Structure 1
Amino acid sequence: MDKHDIHQDPLLSVEEQDWPQSKQDSSAPSPSSEFIRPYTGRTGRRRRSALKIKLLQLALGSSIFLFSLTILLLWIYISGLSAENNRISAEFNKQRRHLVAATAALEKLQNERNALVQGRLPYLLPLEYDRAISVTDQYLRNIIFTLTKNQGETATEYRVVLQNDGSSAIYPEVKILLFDKLGIQVGSAEITNGEQSSDEAILDPGEVRSYSGSVNFFRPGNPHYFHAAVY
């Protein structure tokens, strides 16, 4: 072994001893990297928090907008209903005024017609159904008219009450005449001795009796007046 070789061995040993140390030093973290890592984590959390706040603000703003829009639509709908209600009320009041005016005019015409008919035929009485109409003519007391329907056919029936206040028996004979609204005769009925039985043909003193029958119509028209009399 020469002198040059002996001089190189210590150098090699020194390098061999220094190389693992440098490798070990390079793997250790530096102080600057340890400082940057926590700072970066805090910045990320702040960004996420800010994003959450913005999302909450956006959701809250959307909710307020939808609520305001709903209130606006409800107000428009209620305003429309109120306007429609006012229009219907105004139309109803208008029709009611027209009806009142028409009813008054109709009553006036009916009264004028009744006055003309009764002026021409003063003995006529207004005909009313299902009501006892007082008629005072000798032993005739009252009469009731009833409108009946049988198998689609309409008929007018009567019921007459007679009372004998005299001291002697009488043979009741009553004629009933019906007239339309113009005073034209449209039907009649009679109570005669020939149509009654022997017991019904005589009305004893103090006796009260009723007679019933149907009116015979010989002219089309609705009866509005009648005349009942003893003959």
Structure 2
Amino acid sequence: MTRFAERARVVVVGGGFWGCSTLYHLAALGLTDCLLIEQGELAGQTTGQAAGMIGQLRTSAVASQGATYGVELLRRFEAEVGVPSPFREVGSVKVALTPGRVDELRRQVAGGQRLGLAVSLVSPEEAARLAPGLDPRRVRAAAFVASDGYVDPRATARGLARRAETLGAKVCATGIMDGLAVGRVAAELVAGRRPFLDIRSMDPGRFGRRYAGRAALRTACEAVYRNYYALRGGRV
């Protein structure tokens, strides 16, 4: 991990999953004159708090294709990235409890099948067998995707960043973005200097709204904290 890069063609702002993934894919494509800046530890903000569930049934084809690519990358993670895969391909059950959700789920299943995803509708009883604790009496429709699963978000992001570094990209985990200017980003690093760049990728996670405001931009979403509770013997 580097402390400072005098020049970089691409600066990636944010060391969460999306930032580390962007850095890795750029480096894997041969664009190694890249610098990722993160003000703290890699994957230390929203990525570290993510549940890590990967579901390929989405409301749009683009989102489904992106999730499917993610599963494919995680399957070859150890061979391609060089660290053990943090992915557990355990499958997932998606349920609909209302008539409106039934129609939506059927559309998602049909869309996934058109993209080649191995997904099928299953009975409420089969859904309860696959997901013990699920109450089949409440389920109006259910779908099963065998290739879904969950991942360790921190290990994934950090593995991608380490591989990007071995390919020649640079990571600075003591960098704070100072501001935005038209056509470029100014990033204040530990040495107080700024990297010159031609391209930038903004992946600041929960700080996205703050940085967008500096550029007179408005974002459509904002990160919030959630509470997770583990229940014993509960039924969904």
Same topology, TM > 0.5: no
Shorter chain as denominator, the TM-score bin is under 0.3
Q: Which structure has the bigger radius of gyration?
A: 1
Structure with the bigger percentage of helix: 1
TM-score, reference length from structure 1: 0.19
Structure with the bigger percentage of strand: 1
Higher relative contact order (CA 8 A, sep 6+): 2
